Amino acid sequence: VSTSAPQRRIVAVQVDPPYSVHVGAGLVGEVARRAEGWSRTFVLTDANVERLFGDIARGWPSAFVHAVAPGEDSKSFAMLERVLDAMVAAGCDRSSGLVAFGGGVVGDLGGLAAGLFHRGIPFVQAPTTLLAMVDSSVGGKTAVNLASGKNLAGIFHQPAEVYADTRFLATLPDDEYRSGLGEVIKTAVIDGPLFARLGELAPDIARREPEALAEVAEACVRVKARIVARDPFEQGERKLLNLGHTFAHAIEHAAGYGRIPHGVAVAVGVVLAAESGRAAGLAVEAGFVESLRSLARELDVPASLDALRHGYGIELHPDALLWAMARDKKARAGHPLYVVPFGPGAVERDVDLPEPSVMAALGQLRRS
Ligand code: ADP
Ligand code: ZN
C-alpha cells in the first residue's frame, strides 16, 4: 500500500467556539506557536510521557511541566485539586494556558482543570495515545472519577486547538495501541468508507507507520467532529458514538476495571451489537459480522469473548454481562437501548433489542 508524503491534515470542529484538530507525523512543534501569547504554559502530563518526551514540552514558551502518576487513579478530585494548586504555584493566571500532553487521563483531567482555573483558561490537547487522538481529545468532554463511578464529575470545555502527532505512537504499549484501534474500528463502522480503507491500511497500521496513522486519525476525527458539531451536548445523534459501549462497559465492569483495555472492550461490543441485531432478526447486512471480525483479526484486536479469555485470561459469563448492562447508567428501568450497526455506515441508535437476542449473541460469541 502506498502512502503519500507528509501532509497537513486539519479538521474544523464547528462548535462554540470552533477549533481545529491538526493531525500529522511530526507536527507537535506547532504547540509552541500556539503557546506564544500565554503568560505561562502549564503542561499537564504523566510520568511516562514526561520521561519519554518531557524535553519537547520543556521547550515550549514559558513552560512549566507537571507530571501526574500514570493511570486512571489520577483522574480524581484529589488530584484535580493538586493540579489547580500547582498551577497557582507555577505562577499561572487568567492569561495562561494549559497543554494536556498525554493520553486520555491527562486530557480529561487537564481539560477540567483548565475549565475551572479562574473560571476557564484556554487549553490545547496534545494527545500521545491513539485512543486520545481518535476519540477523547475531540468533543470537549472533561471529567474526573468519583468513588461511585467513572467520569461522574466533569464539564464541557472545548480545547482551543488539538495537535495529534502520530510519531508519538511508536512507543505506545501494545495494549494501549490495541485499545485505540478498537475505537478506530467503531468509528469506521459509523463512517462506512473508512471501514474498507482500514482493511487496505492494515499492514501499515500494524507497523505503526505515522503517515498511515495520520490518515486514519484524520478520518476518525472527521467523523467525530461532524457528529459533535450537530449534537455538542449528547442529546441525540452523538449517542451513535456510543456504539459498542453498552456491551463494553459491562465487559469492563464484569472483568474488573482496568483489566481489559477500554477500546478492546469496545471492539468486542461492536461485534456483540451486530450479532444481537442479527439474532433479533433485524436487517444486518449479510457477511457484515464476518467482515467485522476479520478486520479486527487483521488489526490484532480481540473481538470475541473467547478471544478475551485467550488474550487476558478473563472468563466472562453472559449472565454477568447481562446483569451489568441492566445496571448501566443509560438503561431505563433496567432495559438498555442499544446502538446497532447494520453494516458499514449504517448505524442506528435507541434500538430496543429483546433480551433473548442479546443473550444469544453473548452465548454465540463465547463459543466462537
Ligand atoms: P488513554 O488515552 O488510553 O485513556 P492513558 O492516559 O491512561 O490512556 O495512557 C495510557 C498509558 O500509556 C499510560 O501509562 C501513559 O503513561 C502511557 N503513554 C501515553 N502516551 C504514550 C506514548 N506515546 N508512549 C508510551 N507510553 C505512553
Ligand atoms: Zn470509548
| Across 123-135, average pLDDT | 98
Q: Within its chain, how far is the Cα of 39 from the centroid? A: 31
pLDDT at 138: 92
Ligand 1, atom 4: closest residue by C-alpha: 104
Distance CA 122, CA 97 (A): 5
Ligand 1, atom 17: closest residue by C-alpha: 48
| Across 269-290, average pLDDT | 96
Distance CA 321, CA 255 (A): 9
Does 172 score more than 50 pLDDT?
yes
**Are 157 and 108 spatial neighbours (Cβ–Cβ below 8 Å)?**
no
Degrees, nearest 5: CA angle 309-315-318: 120
- For residue 262, the ligand 1 atom closest to its alpha carbon is 3
* Cα 266 to middle of ligand 2, angstroms: 7
Look-up of cell digits 467503531: 186
- For residue 263, the ligand 1 atom closest to its alpha carbon is 3
Does 332 score more than 70 pLDDT?
no
pLDDT at 114: 98
pLDDT at 11: 97
Q: Could you give the percent of the chain with pLDDT greater than 70?
A: 96
**313 backbone dihedrals φ, ψ, rounded to 5°:** 65, 30
**Are 172 and 129 spatial neighbours (Cβ–Cβ below 8 Å)?**
yes
pLDDT at 363: 87
What is the per-residue pLDDT across 173-230, written as a single tens digit (0 to 9) for each? 999 999 999 999 999 999 999 999 999 999 999 999 999 999 999 999 999 999 999 9
pLDDT band for position 7 (cuts 50, 70, 90): confident
* Cα 286 to middle of ligand 1, angstroms: 37
Does 326 score more than 60 pLDDT?
yes
Q: Where are the alpha helices (DSSP H) in 193-333?
A: 193-206, 210-230, 245-255, 262-279, 288-298, 305-312, 318-326
Q: Tell me which of 336 and 68 has the higher pLDDT.
A: 68
* Ligand 1 binding pocket includes 74 (Cβ within 6 Å): no
Distance CA 337, CA 321 (A): 15
Mean pLDDT, the chain, rounded, equals 94
* Ligand 1 binding pocket includes 106 (Cβ within 6 Å): yes
The helix, strand and coil proportions of the chain, stated in percent and rounded to the nearest 5, come to 50, 20, 30
Distance CA 61, CA 47 (A): 21
161: nearest Cα among 203, 211, 114 = 114
Look-up of cell digits 513552560: 63
Ramachandran quadrant class, 165 (left: phi over 0; alpha: psi -120 to 50; beta: rest): beta
**Are 173 and 33 spatial neighbours (Cβ–Cβ below 8 Å)?**
no
pLDDT at 13: 96
Look-up of cell digits 468532554: 141
| Across 137-164, average pLDDT | 94
* Cα 23 to middle of ligand 1, angstroms: 18
C-alpha cell at 366: 463465547
pLDDT band for position 1 (cuts 50, 70, 90): very low
Q: Could you give the percent of the chain with pLDDT greater than 90?
A: 89
* Cα 132 to middle of ligand 2, angstroms: 10
pLDDT at 68: 98
What is the per-residue pLDDT across 74-119, written as a single tens digit (0 to 9) for each? 999 999 999 999 999 999 999 999 999 999 999 999 999 999 999 9
- Residues catalogued as catalytic: 119, 141, 183, 224, 234, 238, 242, 245, 249, 262
Ligand 1, atom 16: closest residue by C-alpha: 48
What distances in angstroms separate CA 116 from CA 42, 89, 108, 187, 336, one per listed residue? Answer: 14, 16, 12, 31, 33
pLDDT at 8: 82
Query: What sign results for the dihedral spanned by CA atoms 274, 220, 158, 130?
Result: positive
Does 5 score more than 60 pLDDT?
no
pLDDT at 6: 63
pLDDT at 286: 95
The model carries a pTM of 0.94
